[in-house]
Chains A and B, each alone.
Chain A
Amino acid sequence: MDTVIIKINDERVEVPNDFTILQAAKKMGIDIPTLCYDERLESHAACRMCVVEVEGARNLQTSCSLKVADGMEIKTHSERVIQARKDILDLLWANHPNDCLTCEKSGECKLQEYCYKYDVKETTFEGKRKNYEIDDSSPFFYNNQNKCINCGKCVRVCSELQHTNAIGFSERGFNTHVSTPFEIGIDNSVCVSCGNCVSVCPVGALMPKSKEKFRLWETKKVRTTCSYCGVGCQMDLLVKDNKVVGVQPANGPSNNGLLCVKGKFGFNFINHPDRLNKPLIKKDGQFVESSWEEAYGLIVEKVNNIKSEKGSEVFAGFTSARCTNEENYLFQKLFRAGIGTNSVDHCARL
């Protein structure tokens, strides 16, 4: 691979020649703000938050789309650049609802984060506010277009990664907004509820319907593997007070940051009141709660009695394609080494 040498903020760096300025900066640990950028999509250069100054170029350049060239000198946080970013934020804020106090996105909202970083306290424009009806037809998420900043990520993820094409931009100019064809509502559209649009929305426009109230900073993230199908998508469970309150896709080798509806929204069974929480023993046809010792004692007694009476061949166990490798290993070991039969199977076939 060919490399080039460039200078970012006066520091020399060698990077592959097919890198964009944004990628080069990231490699150096320099944080350039973006609203519409997603590394899985072709650069769009729509939000212009990522502009930088390139020596010799008259206008500011979008770093997400401009490729590096040998000898390039770049300033990522010059006065001019910072002013340009402030202007963009100022303009976006002009028609934003300004309700961070109660917005669920607060704490992970990019608009909020950048307004803080770039010191934009209020807008200098007297902007018109948007007044869309919230589409809450989907059981899984809201579409509140009053908060949309038209970054286009949701539309592109739905069409270029998920390939469902459920949503698009409707109307033009100030009235541009994300919706389903003919405004039929998400639930009546071809949407497959994957939530991949929700996961990339930088603001509070597309938001999961949550049973719990939580702020991102109150949660911890736990990286794990989806427990549904065999794709093995990687995900982060958001945990607050010993409860899973949300799921975010992670960039695993098999899912590349995507999830489906079950992985993204199918987690509420974890805290469900129907969960078994004590061993049960059936007495006279009714289940009675028991201690672990009593339940274990009964099982061991039955195993020993039946084994001494009829041998090992009358035992069988169904292990589980739902459980972990370690548990499957122990299950077959229990049957083979502990009881003495190979009658262990699971529902791979079903």
Chain B
Amino acid sequence: MTNSIAEVKDADVIFVIGSNTTENHPVIGAQMKQAKAQGAKLIVADPRKIDLANDSDVFLQIKPGTNIALLNSMMNVIIEEGLEDKKYIAERTEDYEELVKLVKAYTPEKIGEICEIDPEDIRKAARIYAKGDKSGIYYAMGITQHKKGTHGVMAVSNLALLCGNIGKESAGVNPLRGQNNVQGACDMGGLPADYPGYQKVFKPEIQEKFEKTWNTKLSPKVGLTIPEVIHGAEEGSVNFLYIMGENPMISDPDINHVKKALDNVDFLVVQDIFLTETAERADVVLPAASFAEKEGTFTNSERRIQRVRKAVEAPGEAKPDWVILMDIMNRLGYDKKYSSPSEIMDEIASVTPQYGGISYDRISKIGLQWPCPSKSHPGTKYLHKGVFARGKGLFMPQEYVGSVESVDSEYPYIMTTGRVLYHYHSRSMTGRVEGLNKKAPVSFIEINPATANRLNIEDGEKVKVTSRRGTITTMAKITDIIGEDTVFIPFHYADGAANVLTGTELDPIAKIPELKVTAVRIEKIL
């Protein structure tokens, strides 16, 4: 997030696109509603009539995969009506003309048809967004999990730049992170091209810096992303795979394909707190400590590094992940020993510019937000104040391209996936909490009443859902939350797993799979 979570409450306009905030980030959802009660305007764009839509000033029930068309059209209206922030554009941005050229064709009339919404609503949303002094955009996987996901993010940023909303309190561009420490895992270099702090592995001066601090030779070759690893494993070019605390057997697209890949590697190590569907396929399983059994830090969506503290002992012989990793590293001949996570953080601070000022004693009461480059730096509440990291904010206009998956007579409905309030990711934790299971016991498919009627399907009935990749059985939930041509399945469940159906089509830049758009057919089980 460019901005802080507490700033949500003071926004004039909140634009939520591709995020079911009240279910996936409930405490931010509550703060959005507080803002709304104080007079903020709320715009919601989503294929489903999510809870926030009920509170919204404009609700745009767009067809899945049409975010970029919508965003471009909103910009078309803003420029057409002269609502852009001219001073900001002149002083702080570049390539504005390119944007003007590109969005010209995106008239609300034309785009209304593509997104399957009323053109007037596009105008209304554009005006509300542009007229707010502090307009914040909040998005999640609904923007990124598409073949053109990276372009979707750029389109969001174009809109924010157009109205001068980056580098301002209670505004900004705010991706909401699904998992507790996605932000930190990225910051720490859990990415194939990046050392900690997004320092590129292929830059010689960076390589040299890490070779010096780590006292070893390093490779300048960019590594493989998860989908590439899965593919490589299936093909035989990846032979050793080590999975820590992830369950791709539920969370990754095209599960049948993942299964083949995991079974095809020579050696699979899985380190986790439960014997997950993925761990079952391992050669060695290492028992790890849960968050309540170890010291450390998580970095939340607003870039705040916060303490995690040990409350209880891990069961049996389970060990904190950092101890396991250090043990293995040492046995492989790399000798560095750490006595505590605090000491690891000191090393992180020494090699990661954004974390330069972080130490456990500074964050013992309240976490600090990066960038925090030095021990005296107070942390950064919102990014790009006054000036962008790169100097000028660059407009990166993007054309709308339809999703790769398309419907036809055999697969006539678009399935989109997501989460529910009561579960978390692959349910390895929440599936073991009685009350949560009671509230959300089984996989289901949301179907519009008209569609259900046509298919002669009743609420609670078991149905067969088939895509070009596989078939699952799940329970019909008839609801007008969803439009007639779209269906929704939460991806949490192993039984009736939505990701048996999804495809592995990737966004070529961010390598994010197109999980939000899958063509399916629905059949009654006779």
Q: How far is the CB of A68 from chain B (nearest CB, A)?
A: 25
Check B27–A270 contact: CB distance below 8 A: no
The closest CB in chain B to the CB of A342 belongs to B223
Check B311–A253 contact: CB distance below 8 A: no
Q: Give Cα A341 to B220, complex, Å.
A: 9
Check B285–A276 contact: CB distance below 8 A: yes
Q: Give Cα A202 to B332, complex, Å.
A: 56
Q: A314-B239, A326-B348 are in contact. Are A275 and B274 (CB under 8 A)?
A: yes
Contacts of A27 in B (CB 8 A): none
Check A328–B311 contact: CB distance below 8 A: no
Of A99-107, A122-130, A146-154, A299-307, the one touching chain B? A299-307
Q: How far is the CB of B432 from chain A (nearest CB, A)?
A: 4
Q: Which of B384-415 contact A (CB under 8 A)?
A: none
Question: Hey, what's the 0/1 contact readout for B136-166 against A, CB within 8 Å counting as 1?
Answer: 0000000011000000000000000000000
* Residue A118 at the chain B interface, CB threshold 8 Å: no
Q: Which of B162-196 contact A (CB under 8 A)?
A: 176-193, 195-196
* Residue B117 at the chain A interface, CB threshold 8 Å: no
Check A348–B182 contact: CB distance below 8 A: yes
Q: Which of A334-350 contact B (CB under 8 A)?
A: 334-350
The closest CB in chain B to the CB of A350 belongs to B251
* Residue B374 at the chain A interface, CB threshold 8 Å: no
* Residue A189 at the chain B interface, CB threshold 8 Å: no
Check B217–A340 contact: CB distance below 8 A: yes
* Residue A325 at the chain B interface, CB threshold 8 Å: yes
* Residue B238 at the chain A interface, CB threshold 8 Å: yes
The closest CB in chain A to the CB of B342 belongs to A326
Q: How far is the CB of A304 from chain B (nearest CB, A)?
A: 8
Q: How large is the interface on B (under 10, 10 to 19, 20 to 34, 35 or more residues)?
A: 35 or more
Q: Give Cα A274 to B273, complex, Å.
A: 9
Question: Hey, what's the 0/1 contact readout for A261-282 against B, CB within 8 Å counting as 1?
Answer: 1110111111110111111111
Check B6–A256 contact: CB distance below 8 A: yes
Q: How far is the CB of A197 from chain B (nearest CB, A)?
A: 13
Check A324–B224 contact: CB distance below 8 A: no
Q: Give Cα A106 to B190, complex, Å.
A: 47
Q: Which of A227, A298, A336, A348 has the most CB of B within 10 A?
A: A348
Check B284–A334 contact: CB distance below 8 A: no
Question: Hey, what's the 0/1 contact readout for A195-223 against B, CB within 8 Å counting as 1?
Answer: 00000000000000100000000000011
Check A344–B223 contact: CB distance below 8 A: yes
Contacts of A313 in B (CB 8 A): 221, 237
Contacts of B511 in A (CB 8 A): 349
Q: A192-B26, A253-B367, A277-B315 are in contact. Are A316 and B180 (CB under 8 A)?
A: no
* Residue B12 at the chain A interface, CB threshold 8 Å: no
Check A332–B188 contact: CB distance below 8 A: yes
The closest CB in chain B to the CB of A324 belongs to B296
Q: Give Cα A292 to B327, complex, Å.
A: 10
Q: Which of B250-264 contact A (CB under 8 A)?
A: 251-252
Q: A229-B24, A261-B421, A344-B192 are in contact. Are A306 and B238 (CB under 8 A)?
A: no
Check B27–A337 contact: CB distance below 8 A: no
B residues with a Cβ closer than 8 A to A are 4-6, 22, 24-28, 30-31, 33-34, 36-37, 144-145, 176-193, 195-196, 201, 210, 214, 216-219, 221-226, 229, 232-233, 237-246, 248, 251-252, 266-267, 269, 272-275, 279, 282-288, 290-294, 296-302, 304-322, 325-329, 331-334, 338, 341, 344-345, 347-348, 366-367, 421-422, 424, 428-430, 432-436, 438-439, 510-513, 515
A residues with a Cβ closer than 8 A to B are 138-140, 160-163, 192-194, 209, 222-234, 237, 239, 242-244, 252-256, 258-263, 265-272, 274-282, 287, 292, 295-296, 298-300, 302-304, 306, 310, 312-350
Top 10 A-B pairs ranked by shortest CB distance?
A277-B316, A232-B300, A324-B296, A230-B177, A342-B223, A320-B245, A139-B435, A260-B26, A343-B223, A163-B33
Query: Would you list 10 pairs from A and B whose C-beta atoms are within 8 A, ordered by A residue?
Result: A230-B25, A254-B4, A262-B424, A268-B433, A269-B428, A276-B272, A304-B332, A329-B347, A345-B226, A346-B185
